[in-house]
Amino acid sequence: MFIRIPDFWVLTLFFLQLVSVNGIKLILELNTGETFSNFVSKYDQFLGSTKLKTQNIGFETISIGQFKAIKGDFGINLLKSAYFDKNIKSITFDRRLELLQVQSFAPKHLARLSQRQKLKGFQEFEYVYDSAAAIGVDIYIFDTGIYRDHPDFSGRVRKGGNFVINDASGESKLLQDPNGHGTAVAGVIGSETFGIAKKANLIDYKVVNKKGYTHVSTILKALNSAVLEIEETKRPSVIVLALGMSQKTHLLNHAIEAVVERGIAVVTGAGNSNQNACELTPASVNGVLTVGAIDINDSDHISEFSNWGACVDIFASGVDVPTLASDAHPNAEKSVVLKSGTSMSAGIAAGLVSYFMGMNDTATEAIKRTKMYGTNGAIPQNDFLFRPFTPNKVLFNCGGDPLW
């Protein structure tokens, strides 16, 4: 977040301390009417010998629809001028994002999805769904990688972009998903056993490192790449962002909004810090489907970690959800892992959005339908006592029988 500081010299000290001491790269968002060439021309005197127009590797440009940004090691004099430039929409540090996970240890989450009522301990768990199961839909999973060769994916996962540099060494360097988070999310999205979108195409966009974190600039580059690919294929597509920040960053929000404006569905988790999701990125992005977590093993109570508030659109199972293990796990192809977190909830919801898009919904229609047909009033009312403006709505797939 860029803080407005009235005093010019205080502003100078602010940037000197945070940029030179911490060595954090900065990202400048340009207004719609500004161009990269105009920016270079205007700040030519500050760029010195390392000029953007020479394609110097010290600078990177990102363009997604109307969204334009430039990342680099900008000097203090350029920043002082840019601060007062009306053509610079926002300035942010290249901040860190982390995976939305809490713990690791026909599945209940699918049975809950296809019925209005809470699960009962003695019932037979059945998942009722339309056999089209998101056929023809591409789902871009921005995560730690996917164990693409897992037989439960039936060959429907292909390698997309790899935006993680020098992520691992030794044996782990050979792994498709050294962390396991991406495979777990992909499992509830589109595996044959645990997934909703059982016939969708899954695209592995590796944007998070083995340790579970990434940066704003990495997400921007990946979004740009995915949008270009989607516009080339012209296929119905969903982007899953099962990661988040500890705060709200308007620049990244604007970039994701630009993706939504291109007719692409974006689904994210509400976050796992038990706070207002409207204070965080990407949970607060307009047009994105933001999903909170409930515990279907505990009468659909909101999980103790799930974020809440007006920016949450709907809830889905997010506690001890069974899914696939990655190739970092011993005997992965025969193992089932239990995962908790709004990442799992987001994965389930992304599968349902894709499921509706497989029935010829547009991205906007599918997200609207996901929210419209959710089950109202399923979450115990006491859960909302200290969670103001939070919707009481749980994901529902219409029991395999479309209601339209």
What residue segments make up the domains of the chain, in order of their start?
8-94, 98-400
- Residue 282: is the preceding peptide bond cis (ω within 30°)? yes
- Residue 318 contacts residue 303 (beta carbons within 8 Å): yes
| DSSP-derived secondary structure letter, 2 | P
- Confidence at residue 390, expressed as pLDDT on a 0 to 100 scale: 98
CATH superfamily of 98-400: Peptidase S8/S53 domain (3.40.50.200)
- Confidence at residue 21, expressed as pLDDT on a 0 to 100 scale: 43
> Pick the catalytic residue: 90, 109, 138, 143?
143
Task: Name the pLDDT band for 298 (thresholds 50, 70, 90).
Answer: confident
By CB atoms closer than 10 A (0-12, 13-18, 19+), residue 12 is middle
**How much is the pTM?**
0.85
Q: Cα separation of 303 and 197, whole Å?
A: 25
Task: Name the pLDDT band for 48 (thresholds 50, 70, 90).
Answer: low
Q: Which two tokens stand for residue 316?
A: 């889905």
Q: Cα separation of 230 and 50, whole Å?
A: 33
Give the model confidence (pLDDT) of 272-289 as tens digits: 999 999 999 999 999 999
Give the model confidence (pLDDT) of 313-354 as tens digits: 999 999 999 999 999 998 888 899 999 999 999 999 999 999
Query: Percentage of the chain with pLDDT > 90?
Result: 64
Residue 335 amino acid letter: S
Whether 343 is catalytic: yes
Distances, alpha carbon 389 to alpha carbons 13, 268, 368, 373, 395, in Å: 40, 19, 19, 19, 18
Higher pLDDT pick, 50 / 366: 366
Distances, alpha carbon 343 to alpha carbons 66, 223, 265, 267, in Å: 29, 18, 16, 10
Whether 329 is catalytic: no
Task: Name the pLDDT band for 301 (thresholds 50, 70, 90).
Answer: very high
Q: Which two tokens stand for residue 114?
A: 């296809």
> Pick the catalytic residue: 109, 181, 254, 329?
181
Task: Report the mean per-residue pLDDT for the chain.
Answer: 86
CATH code reported for the domain at 8-94: 3.30.70
- Confidence at residue 152, expressed as pLDDT on a 0 to 100 scale: 94
From the list 229, 188, 170, the residue with the least C-alpha distance to 205 is: 229
* pLDDT surpassing 70 at residue 103: no
Higher pLDDT pick, 103 / 240: 240
By CB atoms closer than 10 A (0-12, 13-18, 19+), residue 360 is exposed
Kindly state the greatest CA–CA separation across the chain.
Answer: 74
- Confidence at residue 92, expressed as pLDDT on a 0 to 100 scale: 86
Mean pLDDT, to the nearest integer, of 350-364? 94
- Confidence at residue 3, expressed as pLDDT on a 0 to 100 scale: 44
Whether 143 is catalytic: yes
Q: Cα separation of 347 and 189, whole Å?
A: 5
